[in-house]
């Protein structure tokens, strides 16, 4: 690191703080501005913010580890979430914007009635805004500690203070600027992070050790499985024996269960969390849908390849790294191949990735604590200025709690698996609560609580992730469906009120549509289903088509890209023909 590198990093921090100061006055007007940007975000800012938030400091390291262990196809661990992401785009984005609420937790009281609804709202505020949120921030902090330790050689006991200092800075600018500042900073941070990762990939793959993409393929010729986009399926357990082998059980867990059944930040079934926050902050339903669509394309089709190429190159350059150190190959490549100036830019890019995620988690988490606990149950009649001040205090308090949690996290992947398992089986009710009138507050409560009862039993049986999903999801689904039928449905007036407000449409709401005096427009659900399938084909085709072109398989690359373009034209035509009227109009 030279003086130029440190100046670039300092310039990045100064610019980020400048954005926060610029938006501080606007965010201080009221809660709507602080947490939802006045519901006036254009699709490109909302979409960029979603992508930037999912690009944390741990992401390139995690991809490097996946590729080192299982090859390119190891990324199906997270590529499978596209199925749920596209479901959110076409079935839920407009509904979230139409609901007119501030947080996902607030949804409980527009959909359900009485004490169970109030309890569910408060419970979700604590469960998501505090419990899950601080675990997420804890593993992001842990990843940033690994980055700085590998980059500068500072002992972990010392570097932790630098990370917490950075987090304090993020908490301050999040508290000052509200969502407007977070979103604009996200866009700036995303472009820095992507540019840095692309430059690194180009420099590493064209180094003398690799010799370009052809050299990369040649040097990995003794391990061709590393370059496979799709896994070879076996009936045995997952192994790393020279040929990547993914058990049928594991593959089915990822493709058949995980994407719709488990709660995971940024990939919530039916939308939720900070993704729902961005959808609710969009200018209108059209901007909400386009923002979420852009997120899926950028997240799955555009962003992965620089990470993957660098990861493959590190297997050749650093062959002696142990299994637990494979992810650090990315950091070592930064140290060894980036010249002065670019090295500082790449460190700034990691800070950008880290800060965009933490800023969103702080703003989103404090919105739950503020709107769904403090304002709803503790002080419901205060003025907006008071709520904004308290929101800023909650932002700083969340930062402190997450720092404490970070000290107890040893393994990033362990925290990731824990969240997936503790949210297993919740997805069904989160999706159906929009489209099936019979789902009630007790259904959702049962779905949230059951995994915490089943999880320790499954672990005592010795069942490990992802096979554990079959047990937890299966039991949880049986429990919440049984609870649904054993408890009373929501009052008719509440169901009619919800239908008039959100217009979810569909046959399961047909009786309440008639009672609401609304004539259903037929055929829209069929169109949305076609759009969902076409959207999935579009993104996967762009992802694989780009990959084949990078590896000089021009025929396959052009074929995949052609299929992707055709799928996109189907989506574009359907959106143009159906328009943007409400589903029930």
What is the pLDDT at residue 152? 75
Tell me if residue 209 falls in helix, strand or coil. Answer: coil
Indicate whether this model's pTM tops 0.85. Answer: yes
Looking at per-residue pLDDT, the higher value among 174 and 240 belongs to: 174
Which residue is listed with tokens 């030279």?
2
Whether the pLDDT of residue 413 is over 60: the answer is no
- The stretch 519-535 carries a mean pLDDT of 85
Whether residue 50 is contained in a domain is answered as yes
Is the per-residue pLDDT at 420 higher than 60? yes
pLDDT of 547 above 60: yes
Determine the pLDDT at residue 103. 93
CATH number for the domain spanning 64: value is 1.20.1730.10
User: Quick check: is 210 in a domain?
Assistant: yes
Q: What is the pLDDT of residue 565?
A: 97
Tokens standing for residue 139: 């593993």
| CA 145 to centroid of chain Cα atoms | 21
Q: Report the distance separating Cα 273 and Cα 91, nearest Å.
A: 16
* Domain-located, residue 98: yes
Query: What is the DSSP annotation of 15-58?
Result: HHHHHHHHHHHHHTS-HHHHHHGGG-B-HHHHHHHHHHHH--TH
Strand order in the sheet with 232-234: 232-234, 244-247, 239-240
The predicted pLDDT at position 353 comes to 79
Segment 119-128 shows an average pLDDT of 93
Average pLDDT estimate for 526-538? 95
Q: Which two tokens mark 513?
A: 């549509």
How do beta strands 239-240 and 244-247 pair?
antiparallel
Residue 275 within any structural domain of the chain:
yes
Query: Is residue 86 very low, low, confident or very high in pLDDT (cuts 50, 70, 90)?
Result: very high
Higher pLDDT, 237 or 547: 547
Mean pLDDT of the chain: 87
DSSP 311-326: HHHHHHH-TT--GGGG
- Residue 534 burial by CB count (10 A; 0-12/13-18/19+): exposed, middle or buried? buried
CA 73/CA 225 separation, integer angstroms = 9
pLDDT above 50 (res 65):
yes
The distance of Cα 292 from the centroid of its chain, to the nearest Å, equals 11
Give residue 132's pLDDT: 84
480 backbone dihedrals φ, ψ, rounded to 5°: -70, -30
Instruction: Give domain status of residue 88, yes or no.
Output: yes
Per-residue b or e along 291-326, where b marks 16 or more CB atoms closer than 10 Å to that residue's CB = bbbbbbbbbbbbbbbbbbbbbbbbbbbbeebeeeeb
Count of domains forming the chain: 1
Phi, psi of 8 (to 5 degrees): -65, -45
Of the candidates 130, 95, 135, the one whose C-alpha atom is nearest the C-alpha of residue 582 is 95
User: What is the number of residues in the chain?
Assistant: 585
> Is residue 30 one of the residues assigned to a domain?
yes
Q: Are strands 232-234 and 244-247 parallel, antiparallel or unpaired?
A: parallel
CA distance 532 to 84: 9
Question: What is the pLDDT averaged over residues 65-91?
Answer: 90
Q: What is the pLDDT of residue 170?
A: 82
Average pLDDT over residues 484-494: 96
Confirm if 440 and 480 have CB atoms less than 8 A apart: no
As a whole number, mean pLDDT of residues 248-270 equals 81
Band of pLDDT at residue 544, cut at 50, 70 and 90? very high
Query: What is the tens place of the pLDDT at every residue in 13-49?
Result: 888 888 878 887 777 777 888 888 889 999 999 999 9
Contact between 537 and 567 (Cβ < 8 Å):
yes
Angle between helices 133-152 and 156-205 (to 10 degrees): 70
The answer to whether the CB of 226 falls within 8 A of the CB of 315 is yes
Sign of CA dihedral 406, 398, 124, 255: negative
In a domain, 459, yes or no: no
Mean pLDDT of the region 216-227: 86
| Residue 360 pLDDT greater than 60, yes or no | yes
Is there a domain that residue 336 lies in?
yes
Region 198-219: mean pLDDT is: 94
Gap between the Cα atoms of 388 and 385, Å rounded: 5
Which structural domain range is residue 121 located in? 3-221+264-410
Name the percent of the chain lying above pLDDT 70. 93
What is the rounded distance in angstroms from the CA atom of residue 58 to the CA atom of residue 49?
A: 17
Of the listed ranges 25-29, 316-320, 528-532, the one predicted with least confidence: 25-29
247: confidence class by pLDDT, cuts 50, 70, 90:
low
- How much is the pLDDT for 245? 47
Report the pLDDT averaged over residues 450-472: 90
Tell me what pLDDT residue 239 has: 40
pLDDT at residue number 234: 53
Q: Range with the lowest mean pLDDT among 100-104, 141-145, 209-213, 452-456? A: 141-145
């Amino acid at each position: 690191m030279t003086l130029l590198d440190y100046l670039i990093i300092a310039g990045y921090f100064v610019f980020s703080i400048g954005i926060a100061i610029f938006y501080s006055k606007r965010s201080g007007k009221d809660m709507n501005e602080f947490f939802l940007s006045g519901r006036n975000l254009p699709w490109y800012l909302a979409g960029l913010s979603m992508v930037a938030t999912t690009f944390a400091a741990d992401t390139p390291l995690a991809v490097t580890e996946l590729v080192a262990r299982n090859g390119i196809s190891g990324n199906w661990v997270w590529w499978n979430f596209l199925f749920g992401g596209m479901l959110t785009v076409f079935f839920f984005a407009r509904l979230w914007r139409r609901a007119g609420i501030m947080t996902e937790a607030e949804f409980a009281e527009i959909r359900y009635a009485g004490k169970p609804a109030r309890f569910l709202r408060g419970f979700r505020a604590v469960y998501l805004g505090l419990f899950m949120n601080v675990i997420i921030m804890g593993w992001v902090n842990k990843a940033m500690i690994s980055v700085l330790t590998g980059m500068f050689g500072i002992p972990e006991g010392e570097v932790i203070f630098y990370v917490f200092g950075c987090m304090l800075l993020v908490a301050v600018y999040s508290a000052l600027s509200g969502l407007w500042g977070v979103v604009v900073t996200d866009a700036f941070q995303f472009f820095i992070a992507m540019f840095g990762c692309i430059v690194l990939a180009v420099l590493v793959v064209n180094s003398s050790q690799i010799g370009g993409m052809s050299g990369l393929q040649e040097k990995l010729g003794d391990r061709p499985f590393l370059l496979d986009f799709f896994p070879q399926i076996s009936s045995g357990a997952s192994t790393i024996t020279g040929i990547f082998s993914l058990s049928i059980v594991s593959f089915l867990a990822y493709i058949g269960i995980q994407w719709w059944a488990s709660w995971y930040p940024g990939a919530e079934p039916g939308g939720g969390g900070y993704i729902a926050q961005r959808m609710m902050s969009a200018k209108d339903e059209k901007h909400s849908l386009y923002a979420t669509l852009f997120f899926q394309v950028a997240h799955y089709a555009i962003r992965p390849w620089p990470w993957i190429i660098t990861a493959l190159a590190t297997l050749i350059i650093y062959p002696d790294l142990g299994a637990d150190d494979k992810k650090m190959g990315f950091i070592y490549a930064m140290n060894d191949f980036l010249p002065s100036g670019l090295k500082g830019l790449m460190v700034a890019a990691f800070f950008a990735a880290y800060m965009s995620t933490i800023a969103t988690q702080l703003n989103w988490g404090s919105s739950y604590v503020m709107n769904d606990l403090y304002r709803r149950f503790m002080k419901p009649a205060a003025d907006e200025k008071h709520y904004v001040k308290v929101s800023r205090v909650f932002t700083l308090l969340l930062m402190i709690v997450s720092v404490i949690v970070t000290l107890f996290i040893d393994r990033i992947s362990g925290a990731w698996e824990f969240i997936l398992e503790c949210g297993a089986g919740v997805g069904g009710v989160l999706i159906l609560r929009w489209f099936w009138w019979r789902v009630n507050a007790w259904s959702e409560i049962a779905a949230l609580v059951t995994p915490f009862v089943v999880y320790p039993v499954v672990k005592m049986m010795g069942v490990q992730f992802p096979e554990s999903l079959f047990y937890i999801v299966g039991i949880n689904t049986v429990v919440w469906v049984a609870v649904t039928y054993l408890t009373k449905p929501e009052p008719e007036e509440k169901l009619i009120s919800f239908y008039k407000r959100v217009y979810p449409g569909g046959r399961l709401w047909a009786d309440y549509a008639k009672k609401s005096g609304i004539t259903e427009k037929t055929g829209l659900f069929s169109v949305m289903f076609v759009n969902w399938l076409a959207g999935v084909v579009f993104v996967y085709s762009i992802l694989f088509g780009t990959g084949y072109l990078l590896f000089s398989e021009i025929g396959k690359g052009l074929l995949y890209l052609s299929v992707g373009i055709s799928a996109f034209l189907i989506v574009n035509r359907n959106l143009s023909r159906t328009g943007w009227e409400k589903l029930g109009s």
